[in-house]
């Protein structure tokens, strides 16, 4: 399948096995005409980077629901840079930290780690898809 919009590598990072949100995002991205490479749950940073390189992905979407996103995501941008894809878009969302913490501080933490977009729990897929379209400078009718 050739996508009109681009290719997204999607997965759940670390020891996290929460798959439902990942599947919802996959479906929403496909409906929005993106090619989705879903690497599933319990994915390592290396797996995200390798999948992005192998597929020529435009973006990496990292999901984390079990609260250890800070630990699991730290260094992902550096791994992308080391692999020659340092300019790839990287999004992250879910329950990224343990406990109830100030969202603005959590967002700043992940932006400082090199993530382009950071989403709190409960963000609807359409919000992040619209952001991706904006970030890729594509409109719904554009072809890649």
**pLDDT, one tens digit for every residue, the chain (144 residues):** 455 789 999 999 999 998 999 999 999 999 999 999 999 999 999 999 999 999 999 999 999 999 899 999 999 999 999 999 999 999 999 999 988 889 999 999 999 999 999 999 999 999 999 999 999 975 344 444
**Residue 100 backbone zone (phi > 0: left; psi -120 to 50: alpha; other: beta):** beta
H or E, element range at 62: strand 59-64
pTM of the predicted protein model: 0.90
Whats the size of the chain, residue-wise? 144
The pLDDT score that the predictor gives to residue 3 is 55
Catalytic residues: 16, 18
Q: Which residues contact 140 (CB under 8 A, 6 or more apart)?
A: 133
Structure tokens at 131: 């952001």
Residue 38 CA, distance from chain mean position: 11
The pLDDT value given to residue 61 = 97
Q: Do 77 and 113 form a contact (C-beta atoms < 8 A)?
A: yes
């Amino acid at each position: 399948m050739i996508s009109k919009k681009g290719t997204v590598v999607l997965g759940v990072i670390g020891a996290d096995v929460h798959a439902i949100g990942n599947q919802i995002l996959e479906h929403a991205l496909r409906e929005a005409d993106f090619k989705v490479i879903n690497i599933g749950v319990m994915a390592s940073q290396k797996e995200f980077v390798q999948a992005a390189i192998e597929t020529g992905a435009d973006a990496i979407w990292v999901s984390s629901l079990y609260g250890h996103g800070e630990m699991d995501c730290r260094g992902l941008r550096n791994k992308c840079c080391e692999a020659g894809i340092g300019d790839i878009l990287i999004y992250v969302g879910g329950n990224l930290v343990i406990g109830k913490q100030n969202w603005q501080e959590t967002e700043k933490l992940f932006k400082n780690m090199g993530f382009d977009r950071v989403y709190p729990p409960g963000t609807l897929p359409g919000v992040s898809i619209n952001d991706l379209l904006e970030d890729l400078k594509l409109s719904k009718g554009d072809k890649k």
